[in-house]
Amino acid sequence: EAVINRIAAGEIIHRPANALKEMIENCLDAGATSIQITVKDGGLKLLQIQDNGQGIHKDDMSMVCERFATSKLKHFEDLQQIATYGFRGEALASISHVAHVTITTKQESSPCAWRACYSDGKLKPPKPGMSADPKPCAGNKGTQIVVEDLFYNVTTRRKALKSASEEYNRILDVVHKYAIHNSKTSFTCKKQGANTADVHTASAARTLDNIRYVYGAAIAKELLEVQHDDDRYEFKLEGYVSNANFNTKKMAFLLFINHRSVDSANLKRAIEAVYTEYLPRGTHPFVYLSVEIKPQNVDVNVHPTKREVHFLYEDKIIENICGALQQRLADANQ
Ligand code: ADP
Ligand code: MG
């Protein structure tokens, strides 16, 4: 059974950046306004994430790493109205099957923090012979999750990974995206032992400030704000798009649908087509779009690793997004 769980876990958590994305979404679900990340060896040795969110109740600590344990889905009907990122209860369970997990957490009303270690979905004693029960300790409100030795028991997965520095770049990519989109929340990300952080965004910032911070002032100056409310297909679009070359290799495309970082090859292709009219051949734009669609119209049941998203009226919605973009570019280039 352990082997089957490990294989299943490998299908959800492909690499350190996937694990981090899931954990960042959990912090945001917990209402965190500060998220601090520490990484060693591209996340393979250590992936640590500290938030100031609502924390986990002591009584729930024994089950947070169990498969399908979620505090976010109370009724089946809720599936239609998912407002949080998580709802499957699979992420922490999967991570605990392929790494050593330690959680320290404190809820506002609790007099102290509690710490527990996990392995294969269950509480595990921190040292042989000790009790596996959560232990009281000092700590601030919020949750710290420490993931050590990711894929220590899945040699094939470890071998399939790129170098630590490449994995770290993928981690930074995830942090940048979430930092830009969640501008009210401060993010830091650093390598363990480093004096300075590689990402350090302020809380209560604006999206544009964070884009400037991540991609540089030059690109931020060229950005056009896009906004569109679509009554017919009931979606809302907000974003910043470049009116000049951003990259000569590929488009920077940051897409959030209902606040989830996702991919849509169809939308990407359509946007590239719009830009052929405005950018010289061989140059590519920066595009950050946040689309809010009625939850009922989005396919939330996509496989966790398949970030490709599909939604109802997809062709029409893509057409209207591109229409809004086209209009904005036309106005700016008159
Ligand atoms: P899901 O997010 O789908 O519910 P996860 O496996 O990601 O499943 O997390 C399991 C549960 O652990 C969550 O439902 C939540 O109750 C708890 N949890 C995980 N991370 C945090 C966190 N940072 N703060 C508070 N609770 C958390
Ligand atoms: Mg989750």
pLDDT by residue (tens digit) across 116-154?
A: 999 999 999 999 999 999 999 999 999 999 999 999 999
Percent of the chain with pLDDT over 70: 87
Q: Rounded to an integer, what distance in angstroms lies between the CA atom of residue 282 and that of residue 160? A: 32
Mean pLDDT over 63-74 rounds to: 71
- The beta strand positions in the chain, using DSSP E, are 34-40, 46-51, 100-106, 113-119, 122-124, 135-137, 142-148, 186-191, 199-200, 223-230, 235-242, 252-257, 260-261, 286-293
28 in contact with ligand 1, CB cutoff 6 A: no
What is the number of other CB atoms lying within 10 angstroms of the CB of residue 111? Answer: 6
User: What are residue 288's phi and psi, to 5 degrees?
Assistant: -120, 120
Which of 71, 98, 106, 143 to mutate for ligand 1's pocket (most ligand atoms within 8 Å of CB)?
71
Q: In this structure, which amino acid lies at residue 159?
A: K
Q: Please indicate whether residue 7 or residue 129 has the higher confidence score (pLDDT).
A: 129
pLDDT of residue 115: 98
Stretch 159-188: mean pLDDT, rounded? 94
Work out the mean pLDDT of the chain and round it to a whole number. Answer: 89
Ligand nearest to the CA of 91: 1
Is the C-beta atom of 87 inside 6 A of ligand 1? yes
Give the pLDDT band (50/70/90) at residue 237.
Answer: very high
pLDDT over threshold 70, residue 72: no
Q: Whose CA is nearest to atom 19 of ligand 1?
A: 26
Gap between the Cα atoms of 208 and 307, Å rounded: 25
Quote the CA–CA distance of 213 and 143 in Å, as a whole number: 27
pLDDT band with cut points at 50, 70 and 90 for residue 79: very low
Interatomic CA distance for residues 212 and 218, integer angstroms: 8
Lowest-confidence range among 18-22, 175-179, 181-185, 292-296? 292-296
On the CB side of 210, how many CA atoms lie within 13 Å of its CA?
A: 26
pLDDT at 296: 76
Give the pLDDT score at 228. Answer: 97
- Please tell me the distance from the alpha carbon of residue 171 to that of residue 204, in angstroms, as a whole number: 23
User: How does strand 199-200 pair with strand 235-242?
Assistant: unpaired
| Predicted confidence band of residue 324 (pLDDT cuts 50, 70, 90) | very high
Q: Walk me through the domains of the chain, giving residue ranges and CATH numbers.
A: 2-200 (3.30.565.10), 216-332 (3.30.230.10)
Strand, coil or helix: 229: strand
97 lines ligand 1 (CB under 6 A): no
**Alpha-carbon separation of residue 141 from 21, 57, 104, 106, 179 (angstroms):** 22, 11, 10, 5, 21
Say if residue 189's pLDDT is above 80.
Answer: yes
54 token code pair: 């609502």
Q: Could you tell me which of 300, 310, 253, 304 has the C-alpha nearest to residue 18?
A: 304
Distance CA 125, CA 132 (A): 4
| Among protein residues, the one whose CA lies closest to atom 13 of ligand 1 | 70
Kindly give the distance from the C-alpha atom of residue 64 to the centroid of ligand 1, in angstroms, as a whole number: 7
The rounded distance, in Å, linking the Cα atoms of 147 and 95 is: 8
Q: Per-residue pLDDT for 303 more than 60?
A: no
Q: Which residue is it, tokens 């590929």?
A: 250
Protein residue whose Cα sits closest to atom 15 of ligand 1: 71
Select from 29, 95, 102 the residue to mutate for testing ligand 1; criterion: most ligand atoms less than 8 Å from CB.
29
Ligand 1 contact, 143 CB (< 6 A): yes
Q: What is the pLDDT of residue 297?
A: 80
The values of phi and psi at residue 300, to 5°, are -85, -5
Confidence check: pLDDT of 82 > 90 = no
Instruction: Decide if 52 contacts 65 (C-beta within 8 A).
Output: no
- Average pLDDT of span 23-31: 94
Q: What average pLDDT does this structure show over 199-223?
A: 90
Q: How far apart are CA 88 and CA 185, in angstroms?
A: 24
Q: Which pLDDT score is estimated for 306?
A: 57
**246 C-alpha to ligand 1 centroid (Å):** 37
Residue 76 has what pLDDT?
46
CA-closest residue to ligand 1 atom 18 = 26
User: Is 51 touching ligand 1 by the criterion CB < 6 Å?
Assistant: yes
Q: Calculate how far, in angstroms, residue 84's C-alpha sits from the geometric centre of ligand 1.
A: 10
